[in-house]
Amino acid sequence: MGQNNYRSSRQAADISAREAASALSLSSLDLERIERGVAEPDAMLLRHMAKLYGCTSDHLLAIDQFDVEGKRGERA
């Protein structure tokens, strides 16, 4: 699994991991696995995370930083 912005977006929103896990109905372990890139959230969870953190799902997925080929700053 590639780069993501899950943890940095949560921290930028000044939300603790415990608060986020509770708000998202996740265990702390599940949230940690998502933030480390070991697991991926489904579309509905991704939407809830974006709303909670005040950003877009594209930002959480780092789509705004990398194109589909993974080249930083270049657009297809």
Quick: pLDDT tens for 20-62. Answer: 999 999 999 999 999 999 999 999 999 999 999 999 999 999 8
Domains of the chain: 6-60 (1.10.260.40)
Strands, DSSP E only, in 1-76? none
- Under the banding of pLDDT at 50, 70 and 90, the label for residue 71 is low
Higher pLDDT residue, 35 or 70?
35
Instruction: Give the CA diameter of the chain.
Output: 38
27 close to 34: Cβ distance less than 8 angstroms: no
The whole-number pLDDT of residue 60 equals 94
52 close to 44: Cβ distance less than 8 angstroms: no
The whole-number pLDDT of residue 63 equals 85
Q: Is the model's pLDDT at 4 over the cut of 80?
A: yes
